[in-house]
Structure 1
């Protein structure tokens, strides 16, 4: 209802200023000059353009997403306010170049960011509800294809403009479109992994590590992009305060992922030798023989089997490895081998801590 009222008022005002300009001026050229020179007329026409953009966005939402979930709407409001405030800070750097072209580029940027956020939320939703209809995948494939082409074109156009004409406001937009392109590559990679996991008959144990590597590589590329943009702006303009937080957050995220990768490799190296198999006595001595990660019962091999040394060291990822074998940590807690390994991909501490 509010959108309908806003649209009716915007359309009425736009029609009124255009009708007045053409009735009070002798020809078409004079009417266009009057509309372009009048600040009031330009504000009304820009507001009408914003309403048209909202209508187009609503139509594209219905085509590619359908009804939005409550969490997606909440994320849109939170991210939109942050993106607008961040761009307003960036405008202080390029205030001498603020014009109609800047407004159109900013509106296009925010428009595309919204669809990237929704696409990211939908791919994350696939992990919670992996069974989706064919229409869902057709929508996602078409949306990601369109965003890929648009992001690549706008990012390359912005970078080419800077290369040919020197530093300008296109630095900010070329940088933003490059960040969105890298984000889209991460979304596409995670979508492919979700589809592979959905089609596999058994749970894909190594999926989380592939997701981790995708995030690690994308964080590195984003960090390089942020630092490059930061240096260029500092050289040709002034300190870009609006991206200091993004540079810090991306750098901290990348360093944390590198630390997690090192700890995971150290924790999962020779897991058979590092963590002994739990015996029947170990499980019977505990209050609960249920693995708290997967919530399934654990069953150990008989003592005469577990106590005898194997002829050859078992391979961690060998085809005959018993992934349901309970493993005992130094702290005394017991978990399934595959559950412990999947947990160590996310955290390098005991799950009970």
Structure 2
């Protein structure tokens, strides 16, 4: 409940004290002398080789010449892991560094956050702590060091994902503004490229640090990479739309299918991850198993709902594309009007039965948010043919014959 400067100052003081005490304890411990004598023994072996004598098979302490000694730094951190209080202080310092880094990223690339963006940021951080670090710690084997290391790895990945989704929120805001300089899109596009590269590097490090948990970590990495690629696609299409003189009319269609494909893949990967956690934990019908089963049910419902929404949207768009003709150049020149949805000049347009003209990709976006009952964006006339006495036709053009 304190402000950021106070938290940073307290974290630095505690870290300095814990690091100093741990270092002094390590220098006077048997681990320090073992590593020191091991390196001395290896130097002695090198002298044997240089003088042409036979190399000893093993050293005094049992270290093989083919297996070099562990370094001082890695041994020091291993000794810290055995001291829970010191380890918690070091982890708190790492969290403090991430907070400062996050503040710097927000200041450089986003400026002042909108109230909705701030709320989403804190909600995602809370959800991450509850459903990732704590939940994984409850499912994994109760090995303190393994849980700490995996939690740190997942925390870094979650840090990257939070800023990837924050970039998505900022894109949704920028698209509602009448004019945004290209530099704003360039900055966040650069940030997304850095996030994606860091994702790849961090995932590559998992092959070295956690070779036994690579399947679990792959299911953690792929959703973050897919979300980042999806947001990058939106920003690249927006930049392409600004660079092309007549605009990039396929922008909204590409964004829609990129978002739909990413959401479906992420839900599928999440389902696989829950099933893997159920297999790792075993079915004992405890509290953890109940939570996993409920999450699996929620993922399946979301997959079904997204599939049905896309089906209805596809039917609606197929009907609009086939039912209504394209506006002629004479009609576009005569009206000399902007699209009522995007407020941009119309080079090509669809002419609805009510006479209003719209971009086809704008109708894509409109129907996406009004898929249950698509209407004209201007006069709210239903995008369906009139009913007669002999037959009825649904909103999406499927005839229903009356008996």
Q: 1:185 & 1:139 partners in 2: Cα distance?
A: 16
Question: Please, which of 206, 222, 226 is the counterpart of residue 178 of structure 1?
Answer: 222
1:41 positional shift: 1.9
Q: Are 1:270 and 2:323 an aligned pair?
A: yes
Question: Please, which of 260, 267, 286 is the counterpart of residue 216 of structure 1?
Answer: 260
1:106 positional shift: 2.7
User: Could you say which structure has the greater relative contact order, defined with CA pairs below 8 angstroms and 6 or more residues apart?
Assistant: 1
- Alignment deviations for residues 225-252 of structure 1 (CA, whole Å, 9 cap, x no partner): 2343344334444454584234532442
Contact 1:268 1:344 in 2 (8 A): no
- Match of 1:269, SS state, is helix
**Change in 2 beyond 3 A, CA 1:77/1:250:** farther
Question: Please, which of 115, 127, 137 is the counterpart of residue 163 of structure 2?
Answer: 115
Q: 2:158 & 2:22 partners in 1: Cα distance?
A: 31
Contact 1:90 1:242 in 2 (8 A): no
Q: 1:327 & 1:172 partners in 2: Cα distance?
A: 54
Q: Are 1:56 and 2:79 an aligned pair?
A: no
Question: Please, which of 242, 245, 251 is the counterpart of residue 198 of structure 1?
Answer: 242
Q: Are 1:140 and 2:166 an aligned pair?
A: no
Contact 2:223 2:269 in 1 (8 A): yes
TM-score after normalising by structure 1: 0.71
User: What is the 5 A alignment of 1:331-350?
Assistant: 335-336=356-357, 338=359, 341-342=363-364, 343-344=366-367, 346-348=369-371, 349-350=374-375
Q: Which structure 2 residue ranges, 5 or more long, are not aligned?
A: 33-75, 283-288, 327-336, 383-403
- Alignment deviations for residues 137-195 of structure 1 (CA, whole Å, 9 cap, x no partner): 44223212222222234446658998x64xx3x44432121001111121111112222
Question: Please, which of 197, 205, 221 is the counterpart of residue 149 of structure 1?
Answer: 197
Contact 2:182 2:239 in 1 (8 A): no
Q: 2:183 & 2:338 partners in 1: Cα distance?
A: 38
Q: 1:158 & 1:258 partners in 2: Cα distance?
A: 39
**Change in 2 beyond 3 A, CA 1:161/1:217:** farther
* Structure number with larger C-alpha Rg: 2
1:136 positional shift: 2.5
Superposition RMSD on alpha carbons, in Å? 3.8
Q: Which structure 1 residue ranges, 5 or more long, are not aligned?
A: 274-289, 297-318, 329-333
Q: 2:304 & 2:149 partners in 1: Cα distance?
A: 33
